[in-house]
Amino acid sequence: MSDSVLDTMSKNHSFWQHKYGSYTANGSLQKGQYQADVLIVGAGFTGLTAAREILRDTPEKKVMVVDANEIGFGASGRNGGFNMTLFGMEPETTVMRWGKKKAREAQSYMQQAVAFVHNLIKNENLDSDYEHTGMWRVAYSDNQEKRLKKTYALLTDLAKPNSYEFYDQSKVRKKLNAPHVKAAIYEPETGILDPCKHVRALKQLAEDAGAEIYENTAVVDIRKDSNGTIVKTSQAEIHVKKLILATNAWSHTLAGPKKIRNRQRPVWTYQIVSEPLTEEEWQALGWQDRMSIEDNRQLVHYLRITKCGRITMGGGNIGYEYGKGMDKWHDPNTWQALEEHFYWLFPTLKHKKIHYKWGGAVSANFDMVPEIGFIGDENIIYSSGCIGHGVSLTQLNGRLIADLVTGIDSELSKFWIVNRNALPLPPGNFLAFIGVKAVMGVLKGIDWYEERDLRTQAR
């Protein structure tokens, strides 16, 4: 790897940040006392979308946004870039926990979310490297194929007509040279984007609408008073009428109300990206439709093509920290497993080198579906629980939160994730840690069972 790659990896930057090149962050909030109608903590997809949409509805409001790092450092700038419709963990999980009616509403919400992002990019001509190329969910083993067919039947029941198509292995092989893929669900109305380019484009849209954005400005305290909420940074004090906590995976680190700290925990996912493929290699691979791919393992792999002609792959395992730490950026064992799976899946590319590796945290809550809620009265709003499927979800959530802030009684603001009766995480660090480890053990066990016939094939 080149010195520049090693340098940006050592700074825990994603491939997308590395590829973006030089970026000049806004200044931090300077010492003093400030007043705002709305303060948003967290300048990712949720926070920046909410800022823009609030100001489009009520341009007279003063809206401030602060982020502890530069924009694009968190999940919004390091995810896989899938503009997808998956809600929470799996559709079966949503049906089991919430029932088919709410699962159908969730599917509709997510299809609307994908369209929201797609239309925003088209209408605003955003430089997000967007491709509306569809998505595959694939099976490797007979057991996974059986389960995939059941998922297909459920999805076609939940979604609007013609949202999905089932591919058997003969059709798969016409479109992708990946001999271990036995079947796929094809979903045409999804896409891929460069998340770092996109989140920084959202920053510009929010600023154009009138938002004041301050980077490298960490919040150190949040407390209520008789006139609203007081938010403190290391240098400044902000008195706000409405506060939006759009910190997602970082929410448990916030000082202030206890409720925000027990809504979710971060789990870590890791990615690799190959060196560029040649035209001959692309022809041999047959990936001409450029669809994104996710397998239907319990601990999924997700992969896609970049605009610059590489393949990124992530998942396969997750990391979890004991306590409040946020420092599991590197996991050599997971990166090695991803590299092995890459070569197993694409045997024609065994000579290709891995160019870049990175990791990041996603927000997971106890009942595995997203949540938008209030703390105390309705003047503090938080969002969490994207479960790693947040590119489209968080942006439509930003529009939903704008409706809550401005008092618009809309179909979005009535969506059942708003102020739902969510299960809090167990108190303390030990029980949460043991619980996550137990769930991971079960998921790994299911994958081992379903893939036991593949053990003889080297990974």
Per-residue pLDDT of 345-362, as tens digits, reads 999 999 999 999 999 999
Number of domains in the chain: 1
Q: Is residue 401 in some structural domain?
A: yes
> Has residue 108 got a pLDDT over 60?
yes
Residue showing tokens 């769930």: 439
Q: Give the pLDDT score at 31.
A: 97
Q: Work out whether the CA dihedral 195, 334, 280, 138 comes out positive or negative.
A: negative
In terms of Cβ atoms closer than 10 Å to its own Cβ (0-12, 13-18, 19+), residue 43 is buried
d(CA 71, CA 261): 22
Q: Give the pLDDT score at 227.
A: 83
Work out whether strand 236-245 and strand 228-233 pair parallel, antiparallel, or are unpaired. Answer: antiparallel
Nearby residues of 447 by Cβ (< 8 Å), 6 or more positions away: 297, 298, 299
Region 371-391 average pLDDT: 91
pTM: 0.95
- The whole-chain average pLDDT of the chain stands at 93
Quickly state the pLDDT bin for 455 (edges 50, 70, 90). low
Rg (CA), the chain: 22
Q: Give the pLDDT score at 299.
A: 86
Digit-coded pLDDT (tens) for 189-242? 999 999 999 999 999 999 999 999 999 999 999 999 888 899 999 999 999 999
Residue-number span of the structural domain to which 29 is assigned: 3-454
Q: Is residue 73 in some structural domain?
A: yes
Q: Is residue 112 in some structural domain?
A: yes
- CATH number for the domain that contains residue 198: 3.50.50.60
Q: Is residue 459 in some structural domain?
A: no
Q: Is residue 166 in some structural domain?
A: yes
Digit-coded pLDDT (tens) for 167-191? 999 999 999 999 999 999 999 999 9
> Has residue 107 got a pLDDT over 80?
yes
> Has residue 444 got a pLDDT over 60?
yes
Q: Give the pLDDT score at 458.
A: 47
Q: Is residue 107 in some structural domain?
A: yes
HSE-CB for 110 with a 13 A CA cutoff: 31
